[in-house]
A and B are shown apart, each in its own frame.
Chain A
Amino acid sequence: MTNLPSSLINFRLLPPETIWLEPEQMEQAKTISECANTRPGERAISEIQQWERYLNALALLAFEQWLSERLPAPAMQRSPKPIESVSYIEVNGFTVCLLAVEHVLDETVPIPQAVIEQPALAAHFYVLHEVSEEQELVTMRGFCRYDELSHSCQRHPIQDGYYRLPLSFLDAEPNHLLVYCRSLQPAAIPLPMSMSSPAEGALTVWAQATTTLTQWLQGMFDEGWQAIDQLINSDASLSLSTRSLESGAKRGKLINLGVQLGQQTVALLVNVTPEADGKLGVIVQLHPTGEDRYLSPNLTLSLRTPPSREALWPAGKTLQAVTSRSQDNYIQLKPFKGRSGTCFSVVIQFGNNTVEENFEL
C-alpha cells in the first residue's frame, strides 16, 4: 500500500466529520426555528430568514450531539443572542458561535461582521457546519479561535455585512476544539470589552452577560469583577473616594477603552447595598487606573434602560449621564435604587468607543 506522506495530507487525514440527524432532531429543529418566530411584538420574518433559522437549528442539534459523544460530561448550554444568522452555545465556560452553510464548494466561509466586531456577540470559537437538509446530514467543516479570527479578518473584504474568509483559514481538525475545551481556560482567549470601529458610532449592544448584583450580596462575583484594591493603586484621592462608598458589596472591573485612547484602561466600580425599604441602592463610579491620576476628559458614564430584546440593536433610553472634565479624579452617577430583578445598563463612551455593562438587581 502506498502511503501519501503526511506532509501532503496535512489538511486532515480523515474525511470531514459527519453527524447523521434523526427524525426527532429534524422535528426539534422545526420547533426551535418556529419558537423563535413567535416572540411577541416581532414582525413576521421572511421565508429566507425562516429557512436560515431552520438550518441553524439543525447545526445546533448536530453540534450538541457531536460534543456529547466526545467530551466527558460537557457543561453545555444554549445561549440565545439577538442575532438571527448564527446560534450560540456555552461549553465548559467557552462561548461557541455556530455558523451554518449549505455547501462549501466555493471554499469561502461567510462570517457576519457583527459576530466578530460586536463585543456582545464575540465568541471564543466559531464553528462552521455544512447542513445537507435532504440527506439529514451535518458536516463539521472546521473552526477557528476568536484571537486568530479577529487578527486575520481585517485582511478580507466585507460584502453585505459578511467577512468572507478562505475555508482553509479554519482548523479542519475538530478534535482541536475538544482539546481546547478540555485543557484551556476561557480567559486564555480574551474577548473584546470595547468597540473601536468608527462606523459603529454610538451603537450599543446587549453585552455578553448580565451581572446579577443580588448575588454579590451573597458573596458570589462574576468573572472579571475584582476586589477594588486589586484594581487600583491605593493613592490618596482614590482611598478617599472609595471610603465614601457605603457598606454592602463593592467590586470593580477593568475596562479597556481601545486604541484611540492609547489602550487606556479605566476601572468601573460598582457598590450595591440593601436598603431599608427592601430595595437595593447602587453607586457607580469610573476611576483611572495605574499611574494615571486623572480620567481623560470627555469620557461619558451613563445609566440606561437595558436594550430591548425584541429588535436587533436598539440602545436603551438614557436615564442619567455624567461626562469627565479636564482634571477629574473620578466621575460618578447619582446614586439610585431599584427593586430586585430590575435591569439596567451602564455605558461608558469615549468618542466612537462604547462599552456597555448590563446588570440585574
Chain B
Amino acid sequence: MGVSSRYWTLWYLSPASENLGYENCLIPAAQAFAQNHSPCAQDGVTQATLLSYFHAQSSSVTIWMQAQAGLCLRCYVSASILKACYTIDHLFGSNKAFSYRDLLPFVLDDDGKTHVILDRDRKTQLVVMGDEQSQATTYPIFAVEVLRTFKVAESSASLDNWAFLRTKQNVELKQFLAEFGFQHLSDWALLNRARPRQMERLSERDRHLINAFHQVYRRDRRQQLAGSRRCPDPSTEQLQKMMTDLQQQNVAISTASELMSSLKRVAAQLRQYDLWSHRVPLEVHDVETGRDTMRSDLPCSEVDELDLEQKEVLMFFHQQLDLALNAAIAQELRDRVATLERSKKYAPLAPQYVPGLRFYYEQGLSLKEIAPLLGMSSWDQARRVLNPGDLLSKVRAMTVQRVLDRVLEQAQQKGFAQTPPDPNYLRTLAEQVEVVADQEIFQAAVEEMRAGQCRSFNSVYAQQLRLYLNECRENQSHD
C-alpha cells in the first residue's frame, strides 16, 4: 500500500445546486511530491515528513518544495474541513435552518491552484510566484491557516482534530451560525435548554434571569400542551412572577417590558455557538499508549478486516444484497401504510402515502410542493406523513439486517462464528455489511436526497422503490 491518496485529493467548493456543494479532484503535483518524498506509507510518518518540508527553513529545501508539501497537506486538510462541516450539520440536528452546504464557502475555499508557503515567523501566508519569489497574499486560504496554526509539539491534537477545532472557530462560520444555527428555535426554547455549562459563561445577573425564567416558564410549559408547539412569549403574569423571584435574588427589574427585553438579550447571547460548543479538541486519551488517539468519528482506516476465510462469507452477501433490498422496500412500504392506517390522526392520509412518494421520487417535487396536491395542511404534515428520509433509513436497516442474518448463519455453519455470536464479532460483521451496502446502494440514495433543487433520483434505491410504488398503484387500481 502506498501513501494515502488523501495527500493529493483536494475537496473543493462547487456551489452548483444539483450536486452536493463540493467536488474533488486529483492534484498531480501533490501526488508526485507525496510519492517521491515520503519514505514510508505509514500515515503519521508521511504527515510528519510533509510538515517538516512545509516548515523547512534550510537552504536545501526550495520554496517550491515547501509549497508542494503544503499542497499535499492542504489536500489532506480539505477532507477534514469537509468532514467538520458535516459534523457541525449533524450536531445541530435535523430540523434546523441550514445545512453543511451553507458552511462550506467559509472554510472550503482552497482551489489548489496557488502555491502557498509561510513566512519565517509563521505569521503570514505567502504566494509563490515565478522565479521563487513570494509575496504576502490578500486572501489567506483557510486550509493554510489550519496548517499555520497547527503546532505538533505543543498540541496533542491530530491534524484532523485541529482542522475540526479551527473550523468551529472560524469567525465567519460562527457569525453565520449565530444567525442561522438556532433560527429554528424560539428565544424561549433556547432559554429553556440553557444549562449550568452555558450559564457559567454568562454574567451573574443573566444567570439569575435564566433561573427565574426556568422556574416559571418550564412549569407552565408542561401544562400548555395543546395547540401550537412553538413556545409563546411569556405572559404578563409569568413576567410578574419572575420579577418577584428576581427581587428575592436582589436583581432589580422594574417593569415587565424591561424584563422581556432583558430575556431577549440573554437569548440573543445564547445564539452564539461558542456558548454551547466545546473549546478544546475532544480526543480520546489512550491510557495504554499514553497518547491521544484519533476520535472514532473522524477519518481513520477502514473497518478491521476479518480473517481471510471469512471473506468468502462476505462474497456471499453481495449476492444477497439485491434480494434483501427488494424485500426490505416491499416490507417497509407495507408497514408504513399499516402504521398510518392505525394512527388516529393520520389514518385519512394513509391512501396518500404511495401517491405522495411517487410525486417525490418520480417527479422530483419537494414536500412543500406535494402537501397541497394531497390535501395536506402543511409542509410539516407532509414531512411527518411521507418522511422519505425515514423510509430510506428503515430500508437500509432492514436490508443490512437481512444480509447480516444470512451471513451470520453461514459464518456459524462454517465455524467462523460462535452461536450466539460475540458482541464485537457481531458489530464488525454488521459494519462490513454496512460498508458494502452503503457503497453499492445507500450512499447514492442519501446524496441524491441531499442535493438541492433540480435533483433527480437515479440511484438503485430510487429505481427499485419506483418499481414498487408503481406496483402498489396498479394493485390499488385493480381493487
Contacts and interface: CB of A to CB of B under 8 A. Distances in A.
B400 A8 contact: no
A182 interface: yes
A13 B277 contact: no
Nearest to A189: B423
A7 B301 contact: yes
Nearest to A33: B222
A1 B447 contact: yes
B304 to A, nearest CB: 12
Interface in B375-393: 384, 387, 389-390, 392-393
A1 B299 contact: no
A260 interface: no
B219 A47 contact: yes
Given A104-B91, A132-B95, A155-B285, A147 B423 contact: yes
A15 interface: yes
Contact of A108 (B189, B282, B426): B282
Nearest to A54: B222
Contacts of A135: 95, 184-185, 189, 229
Contact of B276 (A9, A54, A103, A184): A103
Interface string B391-409: 0111011001100110010
Contacts of B180: none
Contacts of A54: 222
A54 B214 CA distance: 14
Interface string A53-64: 010000000000
Contact of A133 (B192, B422, B431): B192
Interface in B282-311: 282-285, 287, 295-303
Contact of B302 (A7, A130, A136, A169): A7
A229 interface: no
A91 to B, nearest CB: 15
B120 interface: no
Contacts of A166: 282-284, 295
A3 interface: yes
B446 A13 contact: yes
Nearest to B25: A2
Interface stretch (B110-118, B348-356, B437-445, B462-470): B437-445
A36 interface: no
Given A20-B384, A133-B189, A134-B229, A2 B299 contact: no
A33 B384 CA distance: 26
A2 B93 contact: no
Contacts of B443: 3-4, 6, 9, 13
Contact of A180 (B19, B390, B426, B444): B426
Contact of A134 (B222, B231, B300, B408): B231
Contacts of B26: none
A17 B405 CA distance: 23
A105 B397 contact: no
A178 B397 contact: yes
A155 B293 CA distance: 13
Given A2-B22, A107-B278, A176-B427, A16 B94 contact: yes
A338 to B, nearest CB: 38
Contacts of A183: 404-405, 408, 420-421, 426
A70 interface: yes
B269 to A, nearest CB: 15
B43 to A, nearest CB: 12
A265 B226 CA distance: 56
A310 B299 CA distance: 48
Interface stretch (A23-31, A115-123, A284-292, A293-301): A23-31
A8 B299 contact: yes
Contacts of A108: 278, 282
A106 B276 contact: yes
B86 interface: yes
A79 interface: no
A10 interface: yes
Q: Interface size bucket, A side?
A: 35 or more
Contacts of B193: 102-103, 133
Contact of A27 (B218, B225, B389): B225
B92 A173 contact: no
Contacts of B448: 1
B397 A102 contact: no
B186 interface: yes
Which of B89, B222, B229, B230 has the most CB atoms of chain A within a 10 A radius of its CB? B222
B24 interface: yes
A49 B389 CA distance: 34
A324 to B, nearest CB: 36
A236 interface: no
Contacts of A197: none
A145 B229 contact: no
Interface in A19-51: 20, 22-24, 26-27, 30, 33, 47-48, 50-51
Interface string B427-439: 1001100110011
Contacts of B249: none
A27 B86 CA distance: 34
A136 B300 contact: no
A14 interface: yes
Given A134-B229, A166-B295, A1 B222 contact: no
A336 interface: no
A18 interface: yes
Nearest to A15: B94
Given A106-B277, A184-B421, A137 B94 contact: yes
Given A10-B299, A134-B231, A2 B20 contact: yes
Interface in A154-177: 155, 166-169, 171-173, 175-176
A179 interface: yes
A70 B394 contact: yes
Contacts of B435: 6
Nearest to A175: B397
A235 interface: no
Contacts of B221: 133
A30 to B, nearest CB: 5
Given A17-B393, A188-B420, A50 B297 contact: no
B229 A168 contact: no
B341 to A, nearest CB: 14
A139 interface: yes
B195 interface: yes
A188 B297 contact: no
Interface of B: 19-20, 22-24, 79, 82-83, 86-87, 89-95, 184-186, 188-189, 192-193, 195, 197, 214-215, 218-219, 221-223, 225-226, 229-231, 273, 276-278, 282-285, 287, 295-303, 335, 339, 344-345, 384, 387, 389-390, 392-394, 396-397, 400-401, 404-405, 408, 420-423, 426-427, 430-431, 434-435, 438-439, 442-444, 446-448, 451
20 contacts: A6-B302, A6-B435, A7-B301, A10-B302, A11-B298, A14-B392, A15-B89, A15-B389, A17-B390, A27-B225, A51-B214, A105-B92, A105-B276, A134-B185, A134-B186, A134-B230, A135-B184, A139-B93, A166-B295, A169-B284
Sort A-B residue pairs by CB-CB distance and give the 5 closest, nearest first. A134-B189, A105-B276, A11-B297, A102-B193, A168-B297
Given A1-B19, A107-B91, A145-B423, 9 more contacts: A8-B299, A20-B387, A106-B197, A155-B285, A171-B427, A180-B423, A180-B427, A183-B421, A184-B421
